[in-house]
Structures are given as structure tokens and as C-alpha cells.
Amino acid sequence: MPSNVQTLEVETGAFRVADEGPREAPVLVLSNSLGTTLEMWDAQAEVLSQRLRVIRYDTRGHGGSVVSSGPYSVSELARDVLQILDALGVERAAFCGISMGGITGLALALAAPERLTHVVVANSAAKIGDAAMWRERADLVRREGAKAMSQLAETAPGRWFTPAFTAAHPEVVQRTQAWIANTAPEGYAACCDALGEADLREPIAAIRTPTLLIAGEVDPTTTVADAQFMQAAIDGAQLRVLPTAHLSNVEAAEAFTQALADFVQPGAAG
Ligand SMILES: O=C(O)CC1=CCC(=O)O1
């Protein structure tokens, strides 16, 4: 469970932020995936906030953060991160994002490399899916509202987890389904707009921030091949593949936390 949760009012809106761990420690920012909230990072925050200052936030359109009307863009999502860091007086941080959070990390590493010590891009891609699919999903959610969010929640386990994990951990899976079911339709749709428009396949070659890519072996959405493409494009990027589907930080929480700690600050996971 997150502690020290606050609503931060910044120029670009109000953001629900949890800020945990020693004030003077190096900072790690955690950024959620589409249809989830900062609670998705509970397992990582619990361990890593022993030695790092862990700042997590609900992405625009999600959880308790601002739901402005769309379309959003990944540049806008990256700008929100900078506003949050500015408001908290943080000059430089390591950034770890999953899926939508991962492509936000790529945009951040391109727009403001001087603010990042490391970037971890999990279960993501330089281009996620295709524009037509995201347009269809955004249209459906805008048309059907809460009914579409319930449908997306019902089908989420098939995208997010392996069948074995879903069968073994129904209570964890149900908790994640509640996040998406409760996401504001316009916030969700506006993030789909951002994903449909984002194509960083060429720009990422300019990234010089130390980069770790994490992929899920059987992720149906952002594949190992997507991660290998990024690894080939980004100088020195490392790649870890975990035995998971899309939400690798939930499905393989311990291994994910260890990989993140080993990269950002060896010893931070004990
Ligand atoms: O479709 C999903 O739910 C998976 C996903 C795609 C982008 C993201 O952040 O999550």
C-alpha cells in the first residue's frame, strides 16, 4: 500500500503522487501502464523505498490524477513527469515505466536527458501496436463509457498475465481488473490516442541515458522482438527477458524488482 500520497498541483494539472523512502537517497520514478494506477508498483516500492526515494504517480487520465480531455501525446505525458519532479524539487532521477510508462520514458530520455540518471523501459516498444487498433479502442471507450471499461477489465487478464498466473493468483488479477474498470473513459481513450500517434522508432537512436529494457517472454502486446529492436537502436542498452506476459512487474514481482535494483543501484533490493 502506498504511503505519503498527495495531490500535487502543477502547471499541467493535478497529479496523485506517492513519495516514499529516504529524502536524501537517489530518486526512482515509477510510471504505470494503460488502465492501471500507481498501486501496480506496490511490490517494487515496498522493497526499493528502503534505500531509494521512490516517487510514483497516476499517469494523466488515470486513478486520482487529472482527466483532461484528449487527445494526449507521449510528449505531454513526459512533460507531466518533469512538472512533478520540479514540484518535488528533484533535479535528476532514474525512471522506470511499463508499457505506456515505458514509451513515456523513451520520450523523456529524448526530451530531457539531463534530468535522467537511468531509464528502464519495461514491456514496451518504440511503437506500441498500430494506430487503427488504438483509434478503434478509443472510439469504443468514448462511445460506450463505463460499459466498455468493464469489457476491457474482463479481457485484461488475457493481455496482462499468463494463464498459469491467472489461475494461481485470482485475487491479484481481480485487483488489477478493478484498476482498469475504474479508469475514467476519457482518460483511457486519450491515452489510447497518445499510443496510436507515438512512433519513436527513429528518434530512439539518439538516446544516451543508460537504458535497461525488460520484456515478457510471452507478452502478446509488446513482444521480445520489440525489445530487441530497441536494444539494437539504443547504444549500450541492456535487455532482460522475464517469464511473463505484459504486466511483468506484477507477475514476476521479485525478479523485476531485482533487475531494476541491480541496474539503478546495486544493493537497493538487499
Ligand atoms: O492493452 C493493454 O491493456 C496493454 C497495454 C498496452 C499499452 C499499455 O500501457 O498497456
Q: What angle do CA 29, 35, 40 make, to 5 degrees?
A: 45
Question: 169: Cβ below 6 Å to ligand 1?
Answer: no
Q: Is 182 exposed, middle or buried (0-12, 13-18, 19+ CB in 10 A)?
A: middle
Of the candidates 119, 120, 148, 136, which has an alpha carbon nearest to the alpha carbon of residue 35? 148
SS (H, E, C) the chain: CCCCEEEEEECCEEEEEEEECCCCCCEEEEECCCCCCHHHHHHHHHHHCCCCEEEEECCCCCCCCCCCCCCCCHHHHHHHHHHHHHHCCCCCEEEEEECHHHHHHHHHHHHCHHHEEEEEEECCCCCCCCHHHHHHHHHHHHHHCHHHHHHHHHHHHHHHCCHHHHHHCHHHHHHHHHHHHCCCHHHHHHHHHHHHHCCCCCHHHHCCCCEEEEEECCCCCCCHHHHHHHHHHCCCCEEEEECCCCCHHHHCHHHHHHHHHHHHCCCCCC
Residue 260 in grid coordinates: 531494476
Of the candidates 221, 214, 204, 261, which has an alpha carbon nearest to the alpha carbon of residue 44? 261
- Does residue 67 have a pLDDT over 80? yes
Phi–psi pair at 29, nearest 5 degrees: -105, 135
Residue 172 in grid coordinates: 491479484
- Does residue 222 have a pLDDT over 90? yes
Distances from the Cα of 173 to the Cα of 210, 243, 251, angstroms:
32, 17, 9
pLDDT tens digits, 104-113? 999 999 999 9
- Does residue 268 have a pLDDT over 80? no
Question: 221: Cβ below 6 Å to ligand 1?
Answer: yes
pLDDT tens digits, 150-192? 999 999 999 999 999 999 999 999 999 999 999 999 999 999 9
Total count of domains within the chain: 1
Question: 34: Cβ below 6 Å to ligand 1?
Answer: yes
Domain range holding 16? 5-264
Residue 249 lies in a domain: yes
Residue 209 lies in a domain: yes
Choose the residue to mutate in 100, 121, 151 for probing ligand 1, maximizing ligand atoms within 8 Å of C-beta: 100
Instruction: Assess contact for 191 and 59: CB atoms under 8 A.
Output: yes
Return the percentage of the chain with pLDDT > 70, whole number: 100
Which pLDDT does position 266 carry in this prediction?
A: 79
The reported pTM is 0.98
Residue 30 lies in a domain: yes
For range 65-84, the mean pLDDT: 97
Distances from the Cα of 113 to the Cα of 43, 55, 108, angstroms:
27, 18, 7
Which pLDDT does position 267 carry in this prediction?
A: 74
Which pLDDT does position 1 carry in this prediction?
A: 87
- Does residue 99 have a pLDDT over 90? yes
Residue 270 lies in a domain: no
Residue 87 lies in a domain: yes
Residue 40 lies in a domain: yes
The rounded distance, in Å, linking the Cα atoms of 112 and 211 is: 14
Residue nearest to atom 1 of ligand 1 (CA): 159
Report the complex ipTM: 0.95
Residue 214 lies in a domain: yes
Residue 269 lies in a domain: no
Instruction: Assess contact for 87 and 8: CB atoms under 8 A.
Output: yes
Residue 102 in grid coordinates: 515505458
Instruction: Assess contact for 30 and 45: CB atoms under 8 A.
Output: yes
Averaged confidence pLDDT in the chain: 97
CATH number at residue 241: 3.40.50.1820
Q: Compute the distance from residue 34 Cα to the ligand 1 centre, in Å.
A: 5
Q: Compute the distance from residue 3 Cα to the ligand 1 centre, in Å.
A: 26
